[in-house]
């Protein structure tokens, strides 16, 4: 948590929420610690590079197969797989899924972990809720797969009534809303975990494989301790780690973690460079005591009349600051380059650095794009398994339950579909 706080403080204050969940703008003061925006731009390039390389909204970045070449050759099966893929693409485009993914890639690059809730929605089928570190925690099953998520967030009294209904909201909150206190904020704990005791034969929400509990914190009402208890057929959270090893729950490595030391150095050097320039241009000076009440003009060409001490200048600097700004700028440039390297900026912008890119063939450009992603092969493979597959599985389940997916051909009934990424 301490490392996450430092990454948020020195790299991107808008990400990370570690204070009171009712505080909606806690990042405002932390921006004062940013003296050089190189880390922000570098993290932007990484997030946009992952977005364009893995989940480009303008491209078909996956397709469905049965995993059986004979079945895939069936005209009816091919048509059904194509139709389902198009339904998924259209649903992705009509929701906030791509915005949530961009936020997730940013979080993973900075903190080594991302989490997105994919929840059912009566209007658009489903909606995504991207989370930021510090507002949630996760746990994994014995296979190392995340299956539990707890998050803490804030809602106003008006939102509580809209979401959970007056019959489930404590009376004191309803009174506050009726009195005009619509924007008073309350803290909610949302727990998502595997359900231990259930009757699989029953299909109601309280017998689904995953339990969901919304608990209102800090409001005493023994009759309404829980705002809502329901469940999910599949784990609703998409959780990805940059590089968790062994039985780790969270990633112990990310570009943000690798660059943190250089980022601290960069911000310190930029601050000290500004201080050095101030001392050189306008150093502190000493004046005789009889100048205390005199009218002094420190503007260029200004004139002030004071009686100087014998043998001394009327005004002189207390000390001399002579900083070699050239060497300082060089060290700053080297630090900036190390930060860019940690976020793979050069790799993602290699096409921009090609002087003869206009003379390159389409095949050569495609090979360069592929080379960029191959350099992050292990990370992308993990994201395919932990983010993209669960995301597609979860949205497919929601749309299928809503009747938006056409019935599968009889020959592939019960067959588990495979996902191929392009």
pLDDT at position 38 is 94
pLDDT at position 209 is 92
Q: For 236, what's the count of Cα atoms within 13 Å in the CB-facing half-sphere? A: 28
**What SS3 class is residue 195?**
coil
Phi, psi of 135 (to 5 degrees): -105, 0
Look at residue 49 and tell me whether its pLDDT is greater than 70. yes
**pLDDT: which is higher, 100 or 282:** 100
* 216-255 as b/e: b if 16+ CB within 10 A: beeeeeeeeeebeeebbbbbbbbbbbbebeeeeebbeebb
Phi, psi of 31 (to 5 degrees): -65, -20
Percent of the chain with pLDDT strictly greater than 70:
86
Model pTM score: 0.86
Q: Beta-carbon neighbour count of residue 86 at 10 Å? A: 11
User: What is the Cα–Cα distance from 382 to 99, expressed in whole angstroms?
Assistant: 21
pLDDT at position 204 is 78
**389 CB-near residues (< 8 Å, 6+ apart):** 419
pLDDT at position 310 is 54
User: What is the Cα–Cα distance from 285 to 304, expressed in whole angstroms?
Assistant: 14
**312 CB-near residues (< 8 Å, 6+ apart):** 288
Residue 279 to residues 203, 260, 266, 326, Cα–Cα distance (Å): 73, 29, 20, 16
The two beta strands, 113-121 and 125-130, are: antiparallel
User: What is the Cα–Cα distance from 107 to 11, expressed in whole angstroms?
Assistant: 12
**pLDDT: which is higher, 329 or 294:** 329
Average pLDDT of every residue of the chain: 86
Q: Per residue in 213-230, pLDDT tens?
A: 999 987 766 566 789 999
Report DSSP state, residue 406: P
pLDDT at position 326 is 86
**What SS3 class is residue 129?**
strand
Interval 159-172 mean pLDDT? 91
Q: Per residue in 13-25, pLDDT tens?
A: 888 887 666 555 5
Look at residue 50 and tell me whether its pLDDT is greater than 80. yes
**What SS3 class is residue 51?**
helix
pLDDT at position 46 is 94
**What SS3 class is residue 215?**
strand
Give the DSSP H or E segment for 241.
Answer: strand 237-241
Q: Beta-carbon neighbour count of residue 283 at 10 Å? A: 13
Using pLDDT thresholds of 50, 70 and 90, give the confidence band for residue 2: confident
Q: Which two tokens stand for residue 253?
A: 């490595």
Residue 99 to residues 96, 145, 286, 383, Cα–Cα distance (Å): 5, 24, 58, 17
**321 CB-near residues (< 8 Å, 6+ apart):** 276, 279, 280, 283
User: What is the Cα–Cα distance from 128 to 99, expressed in whole angstroms?
Assistant: 9
């Amino acid at each position: 948590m301490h490392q996450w706080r430092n990454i948020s403080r020195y790299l991107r204050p808008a990400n990370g929420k570690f204070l009171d969940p009712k505080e909606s703008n806690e990042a405002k003061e932390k921006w004062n610690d940013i003296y050089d925006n190189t880390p922000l731009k570098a993290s932007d390039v990484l997030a946009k590079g992952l977005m364009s390389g893995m989940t480009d909204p303008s491209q078909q970045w996956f397709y469905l197969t049965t995993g059986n070449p004979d079945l895939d050759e069936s005209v009816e099966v091919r048509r059904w797989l194509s139709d389902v893929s198009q339904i998924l693409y259209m649903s992705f485009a009509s929701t906030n899924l791509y915005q949530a993914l961009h936020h997730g890639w940013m979080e993973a690059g900075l903190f080594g972990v991302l989490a997105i809730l994919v929840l059912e929605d009566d209007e658009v089928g489903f909606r995504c809720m991207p989370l930021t570190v510090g507002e949630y925690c996760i746990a994994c099953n014995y296979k190392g797969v995340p299956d539990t998520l707890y998050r803490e967030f804030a809602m106003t009294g008006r939102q509580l009534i809209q979401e959970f209904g007056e019959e489930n909201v404590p009376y004191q909150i309803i009174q506050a809303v009726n009195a005009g206190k619509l924007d008073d904020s309350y803290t909610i704990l949302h727990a998502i975990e595997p359900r231990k005791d259930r009757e699989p034969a029953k299909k109601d929400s309280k017998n689904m494989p995953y339990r969901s509990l919304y608990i209102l914190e800090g409001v005493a009402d023994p009759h309404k301790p829980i705002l809502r208890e329901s469940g999910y057929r599949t784990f609703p959270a998409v959780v990805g780690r940059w590089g968790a090893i062994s039985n780790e729950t969270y990633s112990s490595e990310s570009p943000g973690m690798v660059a943190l030391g250089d980022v601290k150095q960069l911000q310190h050097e930029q601050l000290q460079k500004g201080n050095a320039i101030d001392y050189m241009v306008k150093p502190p000076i000493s004046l005789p005591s009889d100048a205390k009440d005199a009218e002094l003009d420190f503007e260029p060409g200004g004139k002030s009349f004071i009686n100087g001490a014998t043998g001394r200048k009327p005004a002189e600097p207390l000390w001399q600051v002579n900083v070699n700004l050239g060497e300082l700028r060089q060290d700053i440039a080297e630090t900036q380059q190390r930060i860019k390297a940690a976020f793979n900026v050069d790799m993602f912008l290699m096409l921009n650095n090609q002087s003869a890119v206009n003379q390159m063939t389409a095949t050569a450009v495609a090979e360069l794009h592929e080379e960029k992603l191959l350099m992050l092969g292990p990370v992308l493979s993990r994201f395919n398994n932990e983010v993209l597959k669960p995301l597609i599985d979860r949205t497919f389940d929601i749309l299928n339950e809503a009747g938006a997916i056409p019935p599968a051909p009889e020959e592939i009934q019960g067959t588990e579909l495979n996902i191929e990424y392009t």
